[in-house]
Amino acid sequence: MTVLSFFLASSIVALGTQAQHVISRDAAPTPMPMPSHGDKCIRFPVFHSTNKQVFGDMWEKRGIETIALANRSDVAYYARLDIGNPPQQNYVQLDTGSFELWVNPDCTNLVTTSDQRFCQAVGSYDPKKSKSSNVTQTTKTLRYGIGEANIQYVTDDIAFQNSGNALKNVRFGFATATKDEFSGILGIGHGSGVNVGYKNFVDELQAQNVTATKAFSLALGSKDEQEGMVMFGGLDTAKFAGNLATLPIVPAAKSPDGVARYWVDMNYMSLTPPSGNMKKYSNTTMAVFLDSGATLTLLPTTLANSIAADFGAQGVDANGFYAVDCALARMPGTVDFAFPGVTIHVPYKEMIREIPTAFGALCYLGISPNEDFVLLGDTMLRSAYAVFDQTNNAIHLAQYTNCGTEDMEIFPDTNFTAIEGKCNAPSFKPAATTATPSTSERPLLPTTMPTGTNRPTAAGPPSGSGSVTSAAATSAVRTTFGLCWLSICVLSTTVFSLAALS
């Protein structure tokens, strides 16, 4: 068994015009107002699936059936698109790790009614009901670790809620059949001439003069907020503290997997426990890529094991999880990611996954060991404000914090390093009531670790999945294993394949 095969269970082989990276999707939003900001920028709310105001009916049910939904509670983040004429509302997973847009999961073959309710809530698209649709003859089969989708390309218009802007004749896929797929995907990685042979969503925004540049900013929002934002062609200076640090995107030819992703160079990682005695980890200068579609942060095994040990984990459990005590999520302290010009501090609460079940909460570290990819998933990105700038081949990064809304448009010649956030830097200092660590602890353990009901001892719950596609091999490599937990069985297959341009 490999941890990658579990947490990245949506890796795919695409049959047709190309292979691509697609992540799992899970959540069930409802319409929310979305204001338009400026002439050359579009802002979307990004919904966490734990948001009970949006997904309340999903969380009111009790019992085993709800567990599957709870296990995907911090996996997917959704934005709304209105597709066709008249508009058909669709919620799609926002994914910086893939490159294409597709919609229309088949909800009928999902196992639980909670999954079916979620799938139905994200909406659907029927090209026959749109006066502006043009269905092509180009098809593709996407095979996932937990399912598959047959896609047919169509061109149609895409509008944005409460905005006068719209895109015309955008190419995307609609699924004619799927298995175990819960929603569509909005891939916002590099598109035309890089990873796909046509203009993708980000390309079209600039080409149709909706944005002045191929750049967007992303703030997933904290667990407590349960809502974030993505802004195409603009940024929000009230969502970060300090100045934006500009990090060059590592060219595909020099990246670890040879694929054009949002790879950047990281200086080092460290841990700042409640005591304030910072520990810097060795051998942590490496390239990492930022992937909003991946649940966990994937790190080399030695590093992941070292961090997990400092959280009291005895190693991975039978399913590849680092089980930790839920009390840690209520303690001050941060896992720190240092880049040239900025360090992103991730509070313990954001780094620890808390899985609510009918049997009590189970907690796991939001880091997974992996020797193939080093990626920073949602457990890290929740604490970062990032501008993904394809035009200038850079990521502009700052510490996330929320002090309101202050939007500005961005252009190809925008000087990002001169832009300062409106917020005060968040404080990660221990509270005055923090207990003194016992002498029997490891030096970096936050406080005395309870060993009772909150520490999971059996197999962990099924996790949400992310995905990556390796461009290093032309043949597929598969790792398959079965998992049964609380009567829920998951079969996961990881597939790596060469991404070929259409």
Q: Which residues are catalytic?
A: 95, 291
| 148 contacts: CB under 8 Å, gap ≥ 6 | 141, 142, 178, 179, 180, 181
Are 468 and 494 in contact by the 8 Å Cβ rule? The answer is: no
Write out the two tokens for 79: 């934005």
Task: Give the torsion sign (CA, 326, 329, 334, 335).
Answer: positive
1: exposed, middle or buried (C-beta count within 10 Å: 0-12, 13-18, 19+)? Answer: middle
Smallest CA-to-CA distance from 82 within 170, 180, 144, 20 is with 170
CA distance 287 to 289: 7
Write out the two tokens for 395: 């990521």
CA distance 276 to 334: 10
Write out the two tokens for 263: 């790879």
CA distance 186 to 164: 21
CA distance 5 to 426: 36
Instruction: Identify the helix (H) or strand (E) that includes residue 203.
Output: helix 201-207
